[in-house]
A and B are shown apart, each in its own frame.
Chain A
Amino acid sequence: MTQNGHHPRAVDIQNISVYYGSYRAVRDVSIPVEKNKITAFIGPSGCGKSTVLRAINRMNDLVPGARVEGQILYHGRNLYAPDVDPVEVRRRIGMVFQKPNPFPKSIFENVAYGPRLLGVRDKNTLKEIVESSLKQAALWDEVKNDLDKSGLALSGGQQQRLCIARTIAVEPDVILMDEPCSALDPISTQHIEELMQELVSQYTIIIVTHNMQQAIRVSDYTAFYSIRKSGEGKEETRWGELVEFGETQQIFTQPQNAETADYISGRFG
């Protein structure tokens, strides 16, 4: 805990709107993300969960024409301030993607990729980092004899844990996970969920999930998004909005908003 800042919130999303070109995909989202907690984003497909998530580590900068209005505070500092370096942001706010995407390299090289980027050259240091990351990602026992094997040779669940190991190898502060289990079987999903429970003592985690059960199982806070429409026919525009945010317990037992209630009881979406 030593290196963590003194601000109680790791990430504070304040009233952001995200544009793709002239299309305003998400409007006015505000979410305070508590340190060392798991925050889940839920909502129907296309409501902008991924968009907001990718705004947090400025992955959207890579999409031509994408733009964020409002601010996201990271330990009190606006991520979109001009003096902020998006590359540095991504190092501290790591990301795990929906489809496991190991590099077409060996398992070792996959995990060592981040530390190498930072400039770690010493072979022994790299080895130790790789080992501790794989152990923490609960993959070590399965791959310790095959570190030279391609990351692509692993099963889907193992690949996703490899991606998590790869992310924590650079010791990020926040980990963003975009539907990390949607491509996995139930057993692998369970592995990942256990892993998240374990990682949260070290990291702040934000997870997008399609699966409400998963949100209930793993998260401390839940943000529920929905799609709004206006206009008809050709004039129709759609955008995502945050409907409700609160402790997971509260969202799923006493939703304040009728739409939330509909969604969690399966009457919607």
Chain B
Amino acid sequence: MTRIEEGVFRSMLIGRQDKGLTMRRLYAASFGLAILALVLLALTITNEAFGYVALVYKIEPETISDRPLAELNETELVALLVEKAPGQLPKMVSDALSPMDLQTFARASLKDSLAGKQIPAEYADKTPADIPTDERASVMGQILADNLTQEQILELIEAAILQPTVSESWPLFEGLFNRRAIEERLVELFPDEITRPELRFKSWLRLEMLTKPMDSNPLVSGVRTALLGTVYLLIIVVLTAFPVGIAAAIYLEEYADPNKWYNRLIETNIRNLAGVPSIIYGLLGLQLLVRFMGDPATGGLGLTSGQAFGIIDGTGRNIITAGLTLSLLVLPVVIINAQESIRAVPPSYRDASYGLGATKWQTIWRTVLPSALPGILTGIILSLSRAVGETAPLVVVGASTFIVQDPGLFTRFTALPIQIYNWTSRPQAGFRELAAAAIIILLVLLVAINTIAFVLRNQARRRLQV
């Protein structure tokens, strides 16, 4: 054995420690990478959800007015509407000012349908249908001019007459930092200076997206139908997966004798199911729920497609089958989490309850479950978050990509992640941006769910403690 000189040892030690420090920084940097990925993700979404567009109009604004539209007052703007789109005016009034739908609106007297709004006195008792055709447009125009702001009327003109479509769109940062290139590109695309569109800032994320249905024009498309679909799916998951999942967890933790082969099988099986890719659940849902329990026309039972309940044109590709598929998907996670929470309930609570003459179920219902509740809730939220973002199984069971009508239980449906997927895959300008806006809505929904859950859980926990 050779003795290492003191000095040599010391310098080697310093080297060793230097190396340690470097590696330590590298390890820490892995989190830097993770954070970087998240930041980039956020930036990418922002970058797409906001940006610049070049709009081309079906009818150029210049051709309908000598002055810029923005300088016209309400009456002048309405005059344009009356001239260019007389037929659409009743619908505009009904949409903008009346709580009624167009059909009812047409047959109700103006003072009923537009209660509280300013209406020309002489027409108050008439219904829109009563007004002679040649007067109707101007009366409606008058009502618009009296009740809407100039900006609102401008929007109506844009939608009804100008009908803009996106010619080109640029993401936010490109618009901010590379304006020159964009302008050059515009010149290249539209050599004629007169028809060359203006570069405009555009927020693809709009509040109306929540209430507007889907549209093939990305400028006006909303996510209402998709959002409703997602909410319905969540309700189905809550109503089915949670009771069943908690029941299974209670069975396994409180009743099942682990020495029995079938109980061990159930236990292992649930753990295995948790690792099955979600798309496989989609195939399960497709075959079991859509095909075999679905449309009798293709040999199904008519249960999930609604024929058994008198629905005629159901195909089985609907909210119910999709919701149940998601339920099956989250079930293992719900069960495993609930099991852990139930296991964590101190045995002394059970002893106390039994000691008072409680039956097994009384003990579970009155003591074990309330104590396990915060943990169970946490698991439920986890699985809800998962269900909200799940896309693949929905694609497989047959979510539609374009739904304008609010979905019913047995109708075709779509959901938020499906929309994101679909819009992301569209080549036309404007749709990826729309996808980014929908992503923001989805993420907000996720944060909301988690916050509610967090609050619920803390309340439950507080109730249990002091």
Direct contact of A and B (CB under 8 A): yes
A114 touches B257 (CB 8 A): no
Q: Is the CB of A87 within 8 A of B359?
A: yes
Q: Are B355 and A57 in contact (CB under 8 A)?
A: yes
Max count, chain A CB within 10 A of own CB: residue among B353, B355, B370 = B355
Q: Which of A102, A114, A117: most chain B CB closer than 10 A?
A: A117
User: What is the 8 Å Cβ interface bit string for chain A, positions 97-133, against chain B (1 contact, 0 not)?
Assistant: 1010111110000000110111000000000000000
A91 and B356: CB pair below 8 A? Answer: yes
Q: What's the Cα separation between A40 and B348 when bound, in Å?
A: 23
Interface segment, one of A30-38, A162-170, A191-199: A162-170
Q: Contact at A97–B349, with CB atoms within 8 Å?
A: no
Rounded to whole angstroms, the CA-CA distance of A104 and B466 in the bound complex is 8
A59 near B356: Cβ-Cβ < 8 Å: no
In the assembled complex, the CB of B119 is this many whole angstroms from the nearest CB of chain A, namely: 57
Are the CB atoms of B466 and A101 closer together than 8 Å? no
CA distance A111 to B4 in the complex (A): 75
Is B123's beta carbon under 8 Å from chain A?
Answer: no
Partner of B353 from A88, A99, A113 at Cβ < 8 Å: A113
Q: Mark A44-80, 1 if CB is under 8 A from B, else 0.
A: 0000000000000101001010000000000000000
Q: Is A152 an interface residue (CB 8 A)?
A: yes
Task: Determine if A104 and B464 form an interchain contact, defined as CB atoms under 8 angstroms apart.
Answer: yes
- A153 at interface by CB-CB < 8 Å: yes
- Establish whether residues A97 and B358, one from each chain, have CB atoms under 8 Å apart when the complex forms: no
Distance of A97 Cα from B180 Cα, bound (Å): 81
- Tell me if B352 and A114 are in contact (CB < 8 A): no
Q: Is A29 an interface residue (CB 8 A)?
A: no
Interface pair B349/A114, CB less than 8 Å apart:
no
Contact of B466 among A57, A91, A92, A153 (CB under 8 A): A153
Q: A94-B356, A114-B357 are in contact. Are A99 and B348 (CB under 8 A)?
A: yes
Q: Is B367 interfacial (CB 8 A cutoff)?
A: yes
Query: With A97-B352, A117-B362 in contact, do A150 and B357 touch (Cβ < 8 Å)?
Result: no
Task: Assess whether A90 is interfacial by the CB under 8 Å rule.
Answer: yes
* Pairwise interchain contact B371-A104, C-beta atoms closer than 8 A: yes
Shortest CB-to-CB span from A235 to chain B, Å, is 27
How many A-B residue contacts, CB cutoff 8 Å? 74
Which residue, of A88, A103, A149, has the highest number of chain B Cβ atoms within 10 A?
A103
**Could you tell me the distance between the alpha carbons of A90 and B351 in the complex, rounded to whole angstroms?**
11
**Which chain B residue lies CB-closest to A163?**
B352
Give Cα distance in the complex from A95 to B352, angstroms. 8
Which residues of A, 142-196, contact B by the 8 Å Cβ criterion?
149-150, 152-153, 163, 166-167, 170
Q: Is B9 in the interface zone, CB < 8 Å from A?
A: no
Say whether, besides A62-B354, A150-B465, A101 and B359 are in contact (CB < 8 Å). no
Is the CB of B366 closer than 8 A to any CB of chain A?
yes
**Nearest chain A CB to B59 CB, angstrom units:** 70
Find chain A residues with CB under 8 A from B362 CB.
117
Closest chain-A Cβ to B345's Cβ sits at a distance in Å of 9
With A113-B366, A117-B362 already in contact, the answer to whether A95 and B355 are too (CB < 8 A) is yes
Q: B354, A97: Cβ atoms under 8 Å?
A: no
Contacting residues of chain B (208-231) with chain A, CB-CB under 8 angstroms: none
- Chain B residue numbers with a CB within 8 Å of A62 are 350-351, 354
Q: A18: shortest Cβ distance to chain B, in Å?
A: 17
Whether A104 lies near B465 (C-beta < 8 A) is: yes
- State the Cβ distance, A117 to closest chain B Cβ, in Å: 5
Q: In this complex, what residue of A is CB-closest to B357? A: A91
Measured CA separation A102–B355 after assembly (Å): 12
What A residues does B366 contact at CB under 8 A?
113, 116-117
Instruction: State how many angstroms separate the Cβ of B228 from the closest Cβ of chain A.
Output: 39
**A152 contacts B355, C-beta separation under 8 Å:** no
Q: How far apart sit A183 and B104, CA to CA, in the bound complex (Å)?
A: 76
Pair A94/B257 contact, Cβ less than 8 Å: no
Does A101 contact B356, Cβ atoms closer than 8 Å? no
Q: Return chain A residues, CB-CB under 8 Å to B346.
A: 101
Q: Is the CB of B357 within 8 A of A88?
A: yes
Cβ contacts under 8 Å, A87 to chain B: 357-359
Q: Which of B257, B349, B351, B357 has the most CB atoms of chain A within a 10 A radius of its CB? A: B357
Q: Which residues of A contact B353 (CB under 8 A)?
A: 103, 113
A59-B465 contact given A87-B357, A87-B358, A114-B357, CB 8 Å threshold: no
**Nearest CB of A to B203, in Å:** 49
Least CB separation from B350: chain A residue? A62
* Inter-chain contacts of A64 with B (CB < 8 A): 257
| Bound complex: CA A107 to CA B353 (Å) | 15
| B344 nearest CB across to chain A (Å) | 12
Q: Which residues of A contact B348 (CB under 8 A)?
A: 97, 99, 101
Binary interface encoding of chain B residues 390-420 relative to chain A, with 1 for a CB under 8 A from any of its CBs, else 0? 0000000000000000000000000000000
B355 to A117, Cβ gap below 8 A? Answer: no
Kindly report which residue of chain A lies nearest to residue B257, judged by CB atoms: A64
- In residues 357-380 of chain B, which contact A (Cβ within 8 Å)? 357-359, 362, 366-367, 370-371
* Contact partners of B354 in chain A: CB under 8 A: 59, 62, 90
The smallest C-beta distance from B373 to any residue of chain A, in angstroms, reads 10
Bound complex: CA A166 to CA B150 (Å): 72
Residues of chain A within 8 A (CB-CB) of B358 are 87, 90, 113, 117
When distances are taken between beta carbons in the complex, the residues of chain B under 8 Å from A102 are 352
A-B contact pairs, 18 of them (CB 8 A): A62-B350, A62-B354, A87-B358, A90-B357, A91-B357, A94-B356, A94-B357, A96-B355, A97-B352, A103-B353, A104-B464, A105-B370, A114-B357, A117-B362, A117-B366, A149-B466, A153-B466, A170-B357
The 6 nearest A-B residue pairs measured at CB: A91-B357, A95-B355, A101-B348, A104-B464, A114-B356, A90-B357
Given A103-B353, A104-B465, A149-B466, output 4 extra A-B contacts at Cβ < 8 Å.
A90-B354, A95-B351, A117-B366, A167-B355
